[in-house]
């Protein structure tokens, strides 16, 4: 049996709303909403010791920030993340139990970012979901998702849509349930913005980033802008911003539907854990991506870069997808 986390001196446990469920934790998450939950989806405890792993296999590793690595192991009891800065996270009991052993060089904000990022993504993977690096909103016709690398504007577009009447489902990590009907799962109701977007939306520029950098975190949204419910996934968009020369006549937005095979491969590329999972775990990612691509249209979305034309982009997306969410309100 896997040793239980040692938490005799831990602070009181609280339940937080995240990823369509409840996270019971002895670590405080000020960016998440405290809720009442009789049966949490995940339980996170601080542990004094890091247990030995049995039959451990390194699945993959990645660079979190320059000079800081994370490694993911599969072992007999589940998964273990080892971050150079924040420490170790053991994910056991089918993804429902998480034990954190602090590292030598951690910050509270970094620990919370690791939990709501890679750690819960693996917990969701263990329960049958595919977690994508993207943003999503709920509209009148269902959820629409935006996938892209950094600097492509997916967070900016999600926030603009939420301010126009759609409801924010998630930013950065999008869990998808591949079972029929395919559903987008609410993630973390915060938006990460680069400086130009923060200025455009007039947000406070003094918010801390989860790692050294210049992104601003917004999480104090009005309830009317948020969705806490799973929603049928109506479409997935791969964002491709293009620069339009001043004075040129060009459409603000256009879309091209992708073939199912190309769509599945794109979903694997944008999977949160795709680059860190190998062997049978990688096969699971591919199978789930294929199932989703066969059921949900995936489009290449070409949009004009720059904040001055984002209003036209939002109008067209809402026109394609049934307008604002049924109970949404303009911010």
Determine which of 170-179, 232-241, 242-251 has the lowest per-residue pLDDT on average: 242-251
Token duo for residue 15:
């339940």
What count of residues does the chain have?
331
Average pLDDT over residues 223-242: 92
Determine which of 86-100, 240-254, 258-272 has the lowest per-residue pLDDT on average: 240-254
pLDDT digits 0-9 by tens, 287-322: 999 999 999 999 999 988 777 788 889 999 999 998
Angle between helices 279-295 and 260-269 (to 10 degrees): 130
User: Which neighbouring-strand residues pair with 69?
Assistant: 63
pLDDT at 151 over 80: no
Average pLDDT, the chain: 85
Query: What end-to-end distance do the CA atoms of the chain give, in Å?
Result: 51
Average pLDDT over residues 45-74: 90
Q: Which domains does the chain have, with CATH numbers?
A: 14-126 (no CATH), 130-320 (3.40.50.300)
> Pick from 79, 128, 59, 95: which is nearest to 279 by CA?
59
pLDDT at 184 over 70: yes
Give me the percent of the chain exceeding a pLDDT of 70.
Answer: 83
pLDDT at 26 over 90: yes
Can you give the pLDDT at residue 1?
A: 42
Burial class (CB in 10 A: 0-12, 13-18, 19+), 161: buried
Tell me how crowded residue 306 is: count the other CB atoms within 10 A of its CB: 13
pLDDT digits 0-9 by tens, 240-258: 888 766 655 556 789 999 9
């Amino acid at each position: 049996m896997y040793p239980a986390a040692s938490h005799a001196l831990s602070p009181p446990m609280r339940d937080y709303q995240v990823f369509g469920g409840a996270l019971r934790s002895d670590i405080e998450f000020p960016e998440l909403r405290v809720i009442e939950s009789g049966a949490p989806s995940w339980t996170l405890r601080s542990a004094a010791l890091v247990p030995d792993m049995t039959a451990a296999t390194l699945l993959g590793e990645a660079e979190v920030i320059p000079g800081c690595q994370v490694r993911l192991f599969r072992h007999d009891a589940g998964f273990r993340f080892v971050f150079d800065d924040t420490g170790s996270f053991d994910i056991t009991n089918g993804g429902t139990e998480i034990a954190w052993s602090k590292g030598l060089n951690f910050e509270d904000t970094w620990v919370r970012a690791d939990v709501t990022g890679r750690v819960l993504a693996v917990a969701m993977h263990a329960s049958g979901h595919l977690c994508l690096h993207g943003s999503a909103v709920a509209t009148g016709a269902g959820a629409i998702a935006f996938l892209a690398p950094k600097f492509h504007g997916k967070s900016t577009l999600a926030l603009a849509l939420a301010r126009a009447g759609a409801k924010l489902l998630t930013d950065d990590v999008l869990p998808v349930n591949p079972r029929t009907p395919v559903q987008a799962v609410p993630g973390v109701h915060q938006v990460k913005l680069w400086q130009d977007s923060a200025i455009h939306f007039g947000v406070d520029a003094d918010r801390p980033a989860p790692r050294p950098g210049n992104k601003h975190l917004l999480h104090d949204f009005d309830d009317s802008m948020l969705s806490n419910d799973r929603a049928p996934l109506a479409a997935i968009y791969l964002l491709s911003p293009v620069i339009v020369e001043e004075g040129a006549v060009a459409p603000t937005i256009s879309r091209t539907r992708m073939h199912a095979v190309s769509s599945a491969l794109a979903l694997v590329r944008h999977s949160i854990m795709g680059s860190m999972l190998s062997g049978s775990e990688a096969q699971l990612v591919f199978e789930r991506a294929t199932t989703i691509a066969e059921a949900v249209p995936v489009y290449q979305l070409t949009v004009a870069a720059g904040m001055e034309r984002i209003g036209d982009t939002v109008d067209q997306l809402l026109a394609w997808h049934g307008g604002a969410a049924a109970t949404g309100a303009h911010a």
